[in-house]
Amino acid sequence: MEDSSLKRFGVSMDGALLRKFDGLVGLRGYENRSEAVRDLVRDALIQQSWEESEQLVAGSILLFYNHHQRNLLEEMTNIQHGYHDFILATTHFHLDHHSCLEIIVVKGKAKDIQELSNKLTSLKGVEYGKFTVAPVEKV
């Protein structure tokens, strides 16, 4: 049985760390510390849950790359075709003469999606890759 009622608890923190945390609270626009703590706890729970290999997740793989890199586009396409069951959509943007941004929307078991992300982000010519994910089941 899920208890969704609000619970209060105390947190002890070093003064310097609390000042930095308060700065983050203000920077991110939270109305209070509680909102920020809730987001941090949710984030930690999501991170832990998707690391479980059988967890069903959805998310995106963000890739910045140089499209002039020899064989990169062919390698990216071959990898994506190998994981086509997990790819819901891709969007490609031309940022300038050399640089492209690709966003790949994914859904599947965490271990498979992580493997796909690792293969793509480790390709020569990919300058930056970021994998963001959330569990499909509610945490």
Q: What residue numbers does the annotated binding site cover?
A: 81, 92, 94, 100
Query: What distances in angstroms separate CA 136 from CA 25, 81, 85, 109, one per listed residue?
Result: 28, 23, 16, 10
Element (H, E) at 119: helix 110-121
Q: How many Cα atoms occupy the beta-carbon half-sphere of 72 within 13 Å?
A: 20
The gap between the terminal CA atoms of the chain, to the nearest Å, is: 14
Burial class (CB in 10 A: 0-12, 13-18, 19+), 128: exposed
Binding residues for Ni(2+): 81, 92, 94, 100
CB-CB contact of 65 with 126 (8 Å): yes
